[in-house]
Amino acid sequence: KNEVEQSPQNLTAQEGEFITINCSYSVGISALHWLQQHPGGGIVSLFMLSSGKKKHGRLIATINIQEKHSSLHITASHPRDSAVYICAVSNFGNEKLTFGTGTRLTIIP
């Protein structure tokens, strides 16, 4: 069993829909990261969370430490949101990342 599990693996939605991507982890962590990887390959850090909720524009990330679960939400989705979203965790004392397998999101106009 992987330390970090994401679901779904693939998600296709219509423009404007509310999107939720889930991440579960099995180890103790210091922080959970949500990353975005566009088709060109570059990786951008969207959020880094250790508790609660963060919001940036149309993106919202939440984490439940007790349940070892995080969600990434996208409101009013747009075709430019099409990308692979990757959940990753880092551990106390070392910020190296352990990654989930990613969720490929496609938003259809």
Site string for another protein, 69-98 (x = CB under 8 A): -----------------x-x-x---xxxxx
CB of 97 to another protein, least distance (A): 6
65-68 long-range contacts (CB < 8 A, ≥24 apart) are 68/24, 68/25, 68/26
The residue behind tokens 């990887």 is 37
CB of 28 to another protein, least distance (A): 15
Cβ nearer to another protein, comparing 34 with 77: 34
Q: 11, 105 in Cβ contact below 8 A? A: yes
Choose which of 48, 60, 65, 104 interacts with another protein (CB under 8 A). 48
DSSP 3-state assignment of 79? helix
